[in-house]
Amino acid sequence: MSKRAPQVVPVDGLPSAVTIYEVGPRDGLQNEKTVIPVDVKAEFVRRLVDAGLRAIEVTSFVHPRWVPQLADAEQLVELVDLTAAPRMPVLVPNERGLDRALAAGLEEIAIFGSATETFAQRNLNRGRDEQYAMFEPVVTRARDAGLSVRAYLSMCFGDPWEGDVPVADVVAAGKRLLDLGCSELSLGDTLGVGTPGHVERLLASYDDVGVGVDRLAVHFHDTYGQALSNALAALRCGVTTFDASAGGLGGCPYAESATGNLATEDLVWQLHGLGIETGVDLELLLSTTSWMAEQIGKPPASRVAAALL
């Protein structure tokens, strides 16, 4: 493996440090056709910690009927040191998922909402307005128990059934999630159709209603090759939390030829080239990506991995 690193050329006005919120163990593996053994998943998390990732979403306490790839969630949490990184959350879909998270001793959870009516119905079996009634007791109970709560908002840039999604709808939906008591809102380009101007407009619209970038994260898919340019646009707007997946693991089942999440190592290469601190050791991250690719039996989608491995 090459030890090449990007030449550092800073750009004025960008954050000096960012948090990479690694979603590979949950969002990445849940979309794989192959069911990965729980000990392999635990080793994946350990390697990500060793590579310097400080926020790693470990799994989801969702019913195995819906996501069989994550049926081993309790076993995985028992095998993982939940204090190994500052943030080791799990996704919970409802109060039953929260009960499991509380029993497992988690300190942070995430919930998953929708900016559009159709996706809410298909993914949550509830309407867009009805989803908040489901989330409210989850967030309240979690906060009362001392947990922090992150909210994902999907379909922020486009919906496969409804087409373009009005920015005002995305802002209204996200603000309602934050008003429930969530500390962080991750804006998801579920289809990967967003472009930099759209990213800037959406972030500015949140600022217009009093939601600063300090409460926002971004979650880009690379379906149309826009994930890195969108990340740079968000960076220029002051965003400091970026979701990414080692090797570009994962994908969107609602978009044809979806190439998965923004690859962590591609994002790290860009950030390090800009002189922005991530805490991530690129060489160790690439080693982890290479190892995980062997476990799932296919090459990583990451361009940096393709160049250096």
The catalytic residues are 252
DSSP-derived secondary structure letter, 195: -
How large is the angle between the packed helices 196-208 and 167-179, nearest 10 degrees? 50
Q: Which two tokens stand for residue 127?
A: 């309407």
Q: Which residues pair with 148 in a beta bridge?
A: 108
Outline where DSSP puts E strands in the chain.
Answer: 19-22, 55-56, 59-60, 90-91, 108-114, 148-154, 184-189, 216-220, 241-244
Instruction: Write the CB contacts of 208 (distance below 8 Å, at least 6 apart in sequence).
Output: 171
Label the pairing between strands 55-56 and 59-60. Answer: unpaired
H or E segment and range at residue 117: helix 117-124
Q: Which two tokens stand for residue 299?
A: 């090459």
| Rounded (to 5) percent helix, strand, coil in the chain | 45, 15, 40
